[in-house]
């Protein structure tokens, strides 16, 4: 399990996650929370190279607004 980053907002039906550095998970990577629950998959990487963002498309029945401020991890 590798830390991806913190959910900073929800926009357009995806969770926007701020990464702590340049290293980012690949598109299609499964993302989980601290309880090892499946949150969704990475669908985009964007923003500045030094500290990019990833967009995470939610799994079914995941309530995105509740994720703001949550740390997410790559499986």
Residue (of 49, 50, 39) closest to 72 by Cα position: 39
- Mean predicted lDDT score pLDDT of the chain: 95
Q: Looking at residue 34, what is its pLDDT?
A: 94
What pLDDT sits at residue 66?
95
pTM over 0.85: yes
Q: Provide the number of structural domains found in the chain.
A: 1
% of residues, the chain, pLDDT over 90: 89
pLDDT at position 75 is 86
Neighbours of 66 (CB within 10 A): 10
Domain coverage including residue 15 = 2-74
- First-last CA distance in the chain: 5
State the CATH number of the domain containing residue 30.
2.40.10.230
CA atoms within 13 A on the CB side of 59: 12
Inter-residue contact 25 to 53 (CB < 8 Å): no
């Amino acid at each position: 399990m590798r830390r991806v980053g913190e959910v900073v907002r929800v926009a357009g039906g995806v969770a926007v996650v701020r990464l702590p550095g340049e290293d980012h998970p690949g598109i299609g990577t499964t993302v989980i929370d601290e309880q090892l629950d499946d949150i969704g998959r990475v669908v985009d990487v964007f923003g500045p190279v030094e500290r990019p963002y990833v967009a995470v498309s939610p799994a079914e029945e995941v309530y995105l607004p509740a994720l703001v401020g949550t740390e997410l991890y790559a499986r």
